[in-house]
Every structure is written in C-alpha cells, then in structure tokens.
Amino acid sequence: MKSTMLTDKNITNGEKIVRILMDEGIKSILFIPYNKAMVDSMTSVIESAKNLGLKVEVYPLKFTTCGEERYEFETKGSKPNVEDFDAVVYHNPYDNVNYVTEVDKNFHSNKLKGKTTLVYIPYYCGKSSNLDFLVNPGCQNADIIFCDPEDEIGYKLIYSDYSDKKIFGIESPKMDTIVKGDGNCVLICTSLIAFLDGGKYKIAAYREWINKLENEEIIFRPHPLMRETIRTLRPNLLKDWDNLIDEIKSKNIEIDTEPQVGKTFAKCKLLVSDPSSIIKMWEKTSKPYNVIEMSYN
C-alpha cells in the first residue's frame, strides 16, 4: 500500500522522489545530466532536493556523438568526487553500449558502482516500449530505480534476483514540467524508435502531416538526437531527412529546441506525434492528439 505522500497530488513527482531518497538516508546528491533536452527528467528532483535542504551539485557531462564531443550546458564546474555524495542521480542507462551517444567514461555506472548510491531515473516517461532500457548497464548497476508505475512490475521481475536493488513506481518528473496554456499552434513531434522502424516511410508521414496542416501554425519538434541517430544508424536516409528540414524551414515553420517540451505545450492546441513518452505527457493537458502512422504512398 502506497503512503499518503506518494499519492498526494499536491506535491511534485520530484519531491516524492527526494523524500524517498531521504528515507533511504540520502543527504547529499550529485546530478549528472548529459543532454539539455533530457534534463527535464530530473529538473523537479533537483529543485525539490534544494528546497528540502539537501546538499546538491549538478555536473553536466560531456558526451560523444558521431565521433564528436559535445557539451550543451552554459557552465561547468570542476570535476566532483562522487564519494563526497550519498547518491549520484543519472538518466543515461547505456555506459558504452549506445551506438549514437556515449557519456564521459569517468561517469559510466560501472565506474561509479560501489563508490556511492546509484540512482537511475529514465528520461522517458510512461511504459517503456523497449526492454533494452531495463537491462542496460545503468539499470543493472543502479541501487535505486525510479520508473513509471506502469513499468514497476517489469523492472521488479527482471531484477528479482537483486535483493539489494530498490525499485519505486513514481510518475516521471517530466510531468512536473508541463505548463498549462491555450495556444493555437499544432505541435508535431518525432521519436527515435518509430523513425528507426519506419525510415523513409516516416519521413513521408511527417511531410504528409505538415502538408495536411498547412493552414495551421505548426511547431515541429524533432527528437534532440534525431540527426545524430540517422547519421549513425541510417546514413542512407540523412539526405532525405535534411531535405525535410530544409522544406520545413522554407515554410517558416518553427523548429522547437526548448529544453522542456512541457513549456511548448502551452503554445499548442493539438499534438501530432510518433508513439513516444511525449504523448503520455500531453494526455495530462486533456487536449486532443493524433498518432503519426506510416505513409506508404
């Protein structure tokens, strides 16, 4: 039976997570985000940890994609000693098993294991459509996992042999970033898994929706790692993707790069999206949405 705190709608998901960590004896936390557009999976956790008086440090990681090193944040402090913190919170589960991106090797979960309490919070929300998330190194090495309630049983079944691993079904902190508003735009979103499954047919489907909505004010939001993923895993489609982006720009359609998609929601009346956790977030607005199906024309 869940405590009153965990079902209290008056506190954020981020605060629920922090209070659980405090119950586990955590008094200081190092947060290590790596992608600016994915940091919303821990934003309200950071804010709540500070508000509740914990020692907090945020150390954004450099990461490598397509052989190029990237750093997306404005400032970066000196490299912290993870052993100075009771816990490290991360949202990248891959270590070195992702073909598209790899975070600073010094902060791979297998390097941190045993030095402090490892806390994994997924950067997607809702039920994962990809079991890889559950079995990647960052999940295997985590001491505490916060996953969507819909995924809680799946995680517990997979990690049933890990008696010391603690798993909590808490709705994603991403939900805390949703801004209410009655804007008049249509938001079109893409996802990596859907694109990799559909390829050129997905590109055709995006173009079809853009043309269908030509009388509307459109905001187009590609996944923040879409081009890098295409370049690495579907290089034959890179020219087609770039042509689509050029078409979008020529139509003066806004390409959204706001780090927190929940803020963009306030500007929009309708969502058109690939199946993704963005739909799970959008459902909180009670506004209509359509799922992008593949076009085979």
What residue ranges do the domains of the chain occupy?
A: 4-175, 178-291
Instruction: Tell me what pLDDT residue 66 has.
Output: 80
Instruction: Tell me what pLDDT residue 21 has.
Output: 98
Quick: pLDDT tens for 125-178: 877 756 666 789 999 999 999 999 988 888 898 888 888 899 999 999 999 999
- Give, in words, the CATH class of 4-175: alpha beta
Spatial distance between the Cα atoms of 294 and 115, rounded to a whole number of angstroms: 47
Instruction: Tell me what pLDDT residue 129 has.
Output: 59
Quick: pLDDT tens for 3-12: 334 445 679 9
Domains 4-175 and 178-291 in one fold: yes
Average pLDDT over residues 263-279: 95
Neighbours of 62 (CB within 10 A): 16
Q: Are 106 and 63 in contact (CB under 8 A)?
A: no
Instruction: Tell me what pLDDT residue 106 has.
Output: 95
Mean pLDDT score of the chain: 91
Structure confidence at residue 60 as a pLDDT band (50, 70, 90): very high
Ranges 67-76, 79-88, 262-271, 285-294: which has the least confidence = 67-76
Helices (H) and strands (E) in the chain, counts: 13, 14
pLDDT over 70, % of the chain: 94
Q: Please give the torsion angle defined by the CA atoms of residues 210, 212, 216 and 222, in that order, rounded to the nearest 10 degrees.
A: -20
Instruction: Tell me what pLDDT residue 242 has.
Output: 97
Looking at domain 178-291, its CATH architecture is 3-Layer(aba) Sandwich (3.40)
